């Protein structure tokens, strides 16, 4: 009888779950074509091993990470108990062939059963402590489907409890395959033993069927809830574009005017415009809130939560499923598709993003929030001409003058006049005796504060014997601000002009002091045919210090805290080189802010936010400076001209308000290094 009941439950549940799985698969496949995801197989396998099996990102939060680790591996190991449960439907004393009677397996099964129960207690405590109703938007669970999470915890608990009880009854009926070491099963068996053989036999049947029913019910529930990630997360991680760092945006649309038509659509305006990988991102979200917790916009009272953005898009995806999956012959009977902005995503949400990458770095299932945001921005800018009005000047300046400030190319080489040595300016090809082309960047050439950094770098290179040259007025904006804002056409126009200039000069090795320029030249220009060896100035300075080409000797009795530029750190995995340079300086005491390296907090300039008004909540740069000032530093160091401008503005405002001591300086790593040289 229990065989029939068990099989009926299983067949019914599998039919429902399979139907839902096919629906999800068709929905994801309805998306547009995604860029090639089959390259770098070895690195993808490595990512699967570290992020799925090793739970690397989840372990970034130690306590919940360990609890999740044991839950994941608990259910992986307990697959053996599912085999045993179904075997027991056919044969009461079933044991897995070859290994079924080995006591070590019984011990492992019981160990992970107990570990899962302990983990569930930990999860429950974490959820109670971080309940949104107590901490409102400060909780990373704010906006998540928290009732469903409690149902999942209860379901997992029931799976383990029914498992241990029927195994305990098996011990007393003589059906249990393990004579010893299954400590939890034997402990519960001792409590059930006084009930007698008949009662234990009934308990065994009831809880065995209960275990199978709960497992099957849990399977169905998972396919209809956010816990679908249990099955799709490994797939999403396998197709993640970045094994190590964010780097370039995923898509480089064809913007060639000769190949475009009136029907060409740029960016994402409707849900079906997303690629299948982006739709897979949506159904993979675990609602854990780690992205929300790290987002600088959310933490400064902006309306953008990366988690809620993904959840809103996912909800809209399922609402649109009938239209997306209906055959072409009947689509005219369905509702017109909603435009994502503003119907699904509020414009203030879309334009609050700094593209810092904190969300992507924190996400344990490798959702690529930034690409989705930039794709929606592209549609708004290129198709709707709808974007923050203050960005118009920046875009116009890049298009007409080649820089966001509109100062013009004629001033790009002015900083050289203040040096006491000659800097070669490239007019044709780079001479063979010149090792590097120094890409100065718009800020480094035209902003007064950033120009001082450029001059410091130039003096350090000259002093160490590194030969370099500049393009001066032939250099133009890389297009990064335009691209992050969504103006892909202007970005590609700038990129192609610069690639032509660099190729004509036969540039091979490039130094960049701006991480945004660095990222464009090293990663994004490759999609348009520009392949160069690019090094950030802090990387080169580390090499020169290590090689004793630069020997710091002057003691600086000062405390410094280093701010990680997002496009240097999270986007390009350059964390240690700037710290190594600072660590080599005599007398300098380095202290880390609470949010640093992978968890560093944005300065607020990225994503073209440098040129947009910040009207909502606290200013991001002020929040970051508050974090820096908690360290009571004499200097706040960075390695990005955007960061320098934003942080310098913030510290001046704090000093004026009495919120910071006089004399706190914002300096580039190069400037601090130069102070230590005789």
Using CB atoms within 10 Å of the CB of residue 258, give its burial: 0 to 12 exposed, 13 to 18 middle, 19+ buried.
Answer: exposed
Tokens coding 303? 């309306």
Region of poorest pLDDT, from 30-39, 182-191, 285-294, 628-637: 30-39
Residue with tokens 């992020």: 51
Q: Give the model's confidence band at 328: pLDDT under 50 very low, under 70 low, under 90 confident, else very high.
A: very low
Q: Give the model's confidence band at 662: pLDDT under 50 very low, under 70 low, under 90 confident, else very high.
A: confident
Tokens coding 121? 């207690």
Q: Give the model's confidence band at 127: pLDDT under 50 very low, under 70 low, under 90 confident, else very high.
A: confident
- Residue 370 within any structural domain of the chain: yes
CA distance 642 to 288: 31
Residue among 269, 272, 294, 267 at smallest CA distance from 367: 294
- Residue 255 within any structural domain of the chain: no
Q: Do 105 and 215 fall into the same domain?
A: yes
pLDDT in tens, 7-24: 999 999 999 999 999 999
- Residue 248 within any structural domain of the chain: no
Q: Do 528 and 609 fall into the same domain?
A: no
Q: Do 318 and 440 fall into the same domain?
A: no
- Residue 138 within any structural domain of the chain: yes
Q: Do 231 and 316 fall into the same domain?
A: no
Q: Do 57 and 79 fall into the same domain?
A: yes
The residue out of 543, 574, 606 marking a domain boundary is: 543
Q: Do 281 and 171 fall into the same domain?
A: no
Q: Give the model's confidence band at 650: pLDDT under 50 very low, under 70 low, under 90 confident, else very high.
A: very high
User: Is residue 427 pLDDT above 80, yes or no?
Assistant: yes
| Average pLDDT in the chain | 92
Residue with tokens 């379901």: 155
Q: What residues does 436 pair with on adjacent strands?
A: 468
pLDDT in tens, 141-154: 888 888 888 888 99
The mean pLDDT value for 44-57 works out to 85
What is the predicted pLDDT for the residue at 242? 60
User: Is residue 298 pLDDT above 90, yes or no?
Assistant: yes
Evaluate the CA torsion angle 281, 287, 292, 298 in order and state its sign: positive
Residue among 473, 523, 453 at smallest CA distance from 495: 523
Residue among 467, 471, 665 at smallest CA distance from 558: 665
Length of the chain: 678
Q: In this structure, what CATH number is given to the domain that contains residue 371? A: 1.10.1060.10
Using CB atoms within 10 Å of the CB of residue 253, give its burial: 0 to 12 exposed, 13 to 18 middle, 19+ buried.
Answer: middle
Tokens coding 327? 């055959």
Q: In this structure, what CATH number is given to the domain that contains residue 444? A: 1.20.1050
Residue among 377, 373, 355 at smallest CA distance from 570: 355
What is the predicted pLDDT for the residue at 39? 63
Tokens coding 663? 């004399």
Residue among 359, 233, 288, 283 at smallest CA distance from 123: 288
Q: Do 529 and 401 fall into the same domain?
A: yes
What is the predicted pLDDT for the residue at 465? 95
- Residue 289 within any structural domain of the chain: yes
Integer distance in angstroms from the first to the last C-alpha of the chain?
Answer: 90
Tokens coding 373? 């945001």
Percentage of residues of the chain with pLDDT beyond 70 = 97
Q: Do 311 and 322 fall into the same domain?
A: yes
Q: What is the distance of C-alpha 392 from the center of its chain?
A: 29
pLDDT in tens, 206-257: 999 999 999 999 999 989 988 888 899 999 998 887 656 688 898 888 888 7
User: Is residue 120 pLDDT above 80, yes or no?
Assistant: yes
pLDDT in tens, 184-200: 999 999 999 999 999 99
How many structural domains comprise the chain?
4
Region of poorest pLDDT, from 29-38, 83-92, 615-624: 29-38
Q: Do 146 and 287 fall into the same domain?
A: no
Q: Give the model's confidence band at 661: pLDDT under 50 very low, under 70 low, under 90 confident, else very high.
A: confident
Q: In this structure, what CATH number is given to the domain that contains residue 582? A: 3.40.50
Range of the domain at 35: 2-238
Please, what is the angle between helix 641-656 and helix 448-464, to 10°? 130
- Residue 510 within any structural domain of the chain: yes
Q: Do 54 and 159 fall into the same domain?
A: yes
Q: What residues does 668 pair with on adjacent strands?
A: 638
User: Is residue 665 pLDDT above 80, yes or no?
Assistant: yes
Q: Do 528 and 428 fall into the same domain?
A: yes
- Residue 427 within any structural domain of the chain: yes
User: Is residue 38 pLDDT above 80, yes or no?
Assistant: no
Q: Are 296 and 620 in contact (CB under 8 A)?
A: yes
What is the predicted pLDDT for the residue at 49? 86
pLDDT in tens, 366-380: 999 999 999 999 999
User: Is residue 71 pLDDT above 60, yes or no?
Assistant: yes
The residue out of 517, 543, 569 marking a domain boundary is: 543
Q: Do 379 and 518 fall into the same domain?
A: no
pLDDT in tens, 349-365: 999 999 999 999 999 99
Residue among 305, 319, 386 at smallest CA distance from 141: 305
CA distances for 621 relative to 353, 418, 612, 644, 658, angstroms? 14, 30, 13, 10, 17
Residue 468 — φ and ψ, nearest 5°?
-150, 160
What is the predicted pLDDT for the residue at 206? 93
What is the predicted pLDDT for the residue at 545? 97
Contacts of 612 (CB under 8 A, 6+ apart): 351, 388, 390, 391
What is the predicted pLDDT for the residue at 329? 47
User: Is residue 442 pLDDT above 80, yes or no?
Assistant: yes
CA distance 476 to 641: 16
What is the predicted pLDDT for the residue at 25? 95
Q: Are 588 and 333 in contact (CB under 8 A)?
A: no
The residue out of 510, 543, 576 marking a domain boundary is: 543
User: Is residue 591 pLDDT above 70, yes or no?
Assistant: yes
What is the predicted pLDDT for the residue at 34? 86
When comparing pLDDT for 263 and 165, which is higher?
Answer: 165
Can you give the pTM of this predicted structure? 0.91
pLDDT in tens, 466-501: 999 999 999 999 999 999 999 999 999 999 999 999
- Residue 552 within any structural domain of the chain: yes
Residue 441 — φ and ψ, nearest 5°?
85, 160
Q: Is the previous residue joined to 342 through a cis bond, with omega within 30 degrees of 0? A: yes
pLDDT in tens, 527-550: 899 999 999 999 999 999 999 999
């Amino acid at each position: 009888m229990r065989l029939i009941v068990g099989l009926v439950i299983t067949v019914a549940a599998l039919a429902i779950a399979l139907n839902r799985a096919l629906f999800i698969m068709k929905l994801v496949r309805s998306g547009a074509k995604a860029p090639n995801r089959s390259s770098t197989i070895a690195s993808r396998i490595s990512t699967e091993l570290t992020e799925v099996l090793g739970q690397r990102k989840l372990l970034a939060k130690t306590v919940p990470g360990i609890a999740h680790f044991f839950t994941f591996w608990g259910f992986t190991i307990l697959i053996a108990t599912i085999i045993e449960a179904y075997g027991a439907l056919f044969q009461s004393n079933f044991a897995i062939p070859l290994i079924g009677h080995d006591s070590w397996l019984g011990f492992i099964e019981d160990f992970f059963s107990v570990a899962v129960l302990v983990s569930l207690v930990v999860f429950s405590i974490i959820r109670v402590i971080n309940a949104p109703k107590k901490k409102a938007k400060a909780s990373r669970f704010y906006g998540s489907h928290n009732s469903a999470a409690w149902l999942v915890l209860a379901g997992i608990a029931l799976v383990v409890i029914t498992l241990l009880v029927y195994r305990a009854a098996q011990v007393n009926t003589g059906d249990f395959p393990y004579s010893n070491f299954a400590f939890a099963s034997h402990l519960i068996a001792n409590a059930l033993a006084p009930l007698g053989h008949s009662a234990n036999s009934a308990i065994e049947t009831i809880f065995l069927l209960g275990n199978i029913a709960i497992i099957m019910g849990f399977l169905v529930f998972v396919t209809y809830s956010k816990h679908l990630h249990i099955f799709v997360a490994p797939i999403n991680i396998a197709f993640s574009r970045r094994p190590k760092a964010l780097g370039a945006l995923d898509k480089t649309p064809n913007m060639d005017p000769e190949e475009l038509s009136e029907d060409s659509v740029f960016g994402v305006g409707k849900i079906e415009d997303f690629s299948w990988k982006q739709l897979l991102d949506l159904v993979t979200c675990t609602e854990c809130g780690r992205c929300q917790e790290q987002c600088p916009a959310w933490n400064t009272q902006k309306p953008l939560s990366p988690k809620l953005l993904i959840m809103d898009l996912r909800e809209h995806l399922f609402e649109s499923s009938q239209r997306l999956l209906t055959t072409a012959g009947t689509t005219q009977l369905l509702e017109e598709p909603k435009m994502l902005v503003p119907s699904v995503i509020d414009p203030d949400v879309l334009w609050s993003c700094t593209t810092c990458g904190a969300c992507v770095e924190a996400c344990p299932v490798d959702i690529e929030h930034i690409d989705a945001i930039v794709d929606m921005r592209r549609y708004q800018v290129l198709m709707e001409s709808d974007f923050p009005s203050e960005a118009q000047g920046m875009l116009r300046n890049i298009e007409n003058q080649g820089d966001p400030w509109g100062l013009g190319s004629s001033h790009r080489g002015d900083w050289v006049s203040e040096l006491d040595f000659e800097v070669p300016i490239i007019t044709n090809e780079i001479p063979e005796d010149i090792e590097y082309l120094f890409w100065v960047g718009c800020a480094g050439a035209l902003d007064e504060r950033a120009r001082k950094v450029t001059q410091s770098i130039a003096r350090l290179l000259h002093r160490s014997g590194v030969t370099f040259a500049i393009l001066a007025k032939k250099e133009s904006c890389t297009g990064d601000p335009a691209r992050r804002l969504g103006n892909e056409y202007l970005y590609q126009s700038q990129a192609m002009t610069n690639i032509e200039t660099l190729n004509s000069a036969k540039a091979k090795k490039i130094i960049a002091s701006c991480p945004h320029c660095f990222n464009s030249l090293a990663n994004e220009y490759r999609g348009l045919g520009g392949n160069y060896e690019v090094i950030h100035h802090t990387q080169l300075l580390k090499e020169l210090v290590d090689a004793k080409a630069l020997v710091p000797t002057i003691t600086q009795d000062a405390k410094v805290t280093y701010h990680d530029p997002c496009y240097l750190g999270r986007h390009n995995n350059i964390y240690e080189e700037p710290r190594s340079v600072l660590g080599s300086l005599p007398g300098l005491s380095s202290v880390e802010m609470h949010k640093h390296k992978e968890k560093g907090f944005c300065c607020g300039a990225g994503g073209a936010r440098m040129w947009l008004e910040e009207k909502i909540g606290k200013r991001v740069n002020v929040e970051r400076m508050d974090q820096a000032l908690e360290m009571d530093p004499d200097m706040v160091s960075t390695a990005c001209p955007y960061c320098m401008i934003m942080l310098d503005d913030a510290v001046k405002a704090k000093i004026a308000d009495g919120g910071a001591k006089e004399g706190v300086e914002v300096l580039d790593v190069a400037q601090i290094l130069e102070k230590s040289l005789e």
